[in-house]
Amino acid sequence: MAIEILIVDDNVDIRNILNELIIDAGYKTRIAANYNQALSEIDKKMPDVAILDVKLDKGDNDGIELLKHIKSKNKDVPVIIITGHADIEMAINALKYGAFEFIEKPFDQTRLLNFIRRAVENLNLKYQNKDYENKLFYSYELIGDSKNISTIRDQIEKIAITESRILINGPSGSGKELIARKIHKRSKRNNKPFIILNGALLDGNKYELELFGEEKENGSISYGALEKANEGTLLIDQVSEIPLDIQSKILRVLTDQKFKRLNGNNDINVNVRLICSSSKNLKEEVKIGNFREDLYHRLNVFEINIKSLNERVSDIPLLIKYFSKKISETYNIKELEIDENDSYILNHNWQGNVRELRNLIERIAILQPDTKDKISIIVKESLKVEKFNDKITENSLSIPLKEAREKFEKEYLTIQLKKFNGNISKTANFVGMERSALHRKLKGLGIKEFN
């Protein structure tokens, strides 16, 4: 892909010098001579790198305003600020708003080219990382044989072909976005856009802009998530974090199937399938007044609930095997030999859920340990698991032997039951007990059997 660099300077001689210099270095260029031309070029097509003069035709900080505009649209674009009127405050402001480098006129051409090369390298690295993350994510399947995951798979197959709005509930990192992607992939809209809007990450003042877009005074248009997702699927992640005033506007769009851009006068008709997800209990949010009840009922046409990883321990060995294979393929290394029944992993409190487990396996892949013992050390250090002997000292030596043994048996058998998804026969076989004896033991320890 040829790198395209936007040159913005009101001095024709400097524009020409920069243009020749950059073309000779092997890059493509676009040129703007003033603020409005630059704005038009940026909105028409985002450059890979931008070189901006600070002072143009509209004021002393035109370049800074253009820098802020670029960063609002794509924070990854490197911007090099050049000026003949530099001072410390200007340099600080440029860096504060995300400038990649700051250089004064008259500039050294070799130094500027070095800045450009570094900017391109930085950009390529970000693209490579995103490409890697996308390949890794898009290839993921919904892994598990727990009742919860089996139910969700059936639900996806049934509702994907419909146009129903869907609410996905589950803790952070459990796989809500993956479920939404699977629904889109199996739907009639699968060749149309899949757009994500994260309610928890947006600036409080930008919800309307991000949703509805904006018509600017110069005639350019900034498209919002609704238009970007037209004919496709829009996932509003963490919908519970959307402010109440914006909730009412979303409700109006669902009712009318149209909206106006900010500063716009014309209705924009949209056909979007809406999927929402939340880590909070929306029913409770409605009760305490944080979420509109009418919007809740509009969104919750069909509900999917994914449980935490701690509630589906039987899925952990399958996930370990799956991620080990996938991540090893991605890093082009020998498949990781991680013990799928490692007690440290099965006993861990997975607050980050599947995402935390995947990150652990990716960390192991990056470090590339060559023995099972080294893998075990990484697991223990990563999960910060206490040594077994320390646990005995703290929790067991202060109580009688019988009570300590019962405590251990109860914890041990509870974990084994979860691991085998409540299957008594498989659990009994693994722990070396007769099925009837295990039933009696569970009853004696007060462990409730489950299916």
CATH of residue 180's domain is 3.40.50.300
Domain assignment of residue 451, yes or no: no
- Cα four-point dihedral sign 378, 380, 384, 389: negative
Residues 291 and 366 in one domain: no
Domain assignment of residue 40, yes or no: yes
Residues 163 and 278 in one domain: yes
- pLDDT given for residue 144 in this prediction: 93
Residues 14 and 35 in one domain: yes
- pLDDT given for residue 278 in this prediction: 96
Domain assignment of residue 86, yes or no: yes
Domain assignment of residue 139, yes or no: no
Helix or strand run (H / E) with residue 203: none
Distances (CA, A) of 178 to 29, 61, 321: 39, 43, 18
CB atoms within 10 A of CB 58: 11
Chain segment 232-244, per-residue pLDDT in tens = 999 999 999 999 9
List the CATH number of the domain containing 429: 1.10.10.60
Q: How many domains does the chain have?
A: 4
- pLDDT given for residue 180 in this prediction: 95
Which residues does 129 contact at the CB level (< 8 Å), separation at least 6? none
- 91 burial type by CB count under 10 A (0-12 exposed, 13-18 middle, 19+ buried): middle
List the CATH number of the domain containing 337: 1.10.8.60
Chain segment 291-349, per-residue pLDDT in tens = 999 999 999 999 999 999 999 999 999 999 999 988 888 778 888 888 888 878 888 88
Q: Is residue 59 over pLDDT 80?
A: no
Residues 290 and 350 in one domain: no
Percent of the chain with pLDDT over 90: 42
Q: Which residue has the tokens 């030999």?
A: 337
Residues 66 and 173 in one domain: no
In this prediction, residue 392 has a pLDDT band, given cuts at 50, 70 and 90, of very low
List the domain range (segments joined by +) for residue 31: 4-134
Residues 158 and 36 in one domain: no
Residues 168 and 41 in one domain: no
Distances (CA, A) of 55 to 58, 60, 83, 292: 8, 5, 7, 47
Q: Give the domain-ending residue among 333, 361, 385.
A: 385
Q: Give the domain-ending residue among 362, 385, 408.
A: 385
Q: What is the arithmetic mean of pLDDT over 402-410?
A: 73
Q: Give the domain-ending residue among 307, 327, 357.
A: 307
Residues 159 and 128 in one domain: no
Under DSSP, is residue 260 helix (H, G, I), strand (E, B) or coil?
Answer: strand
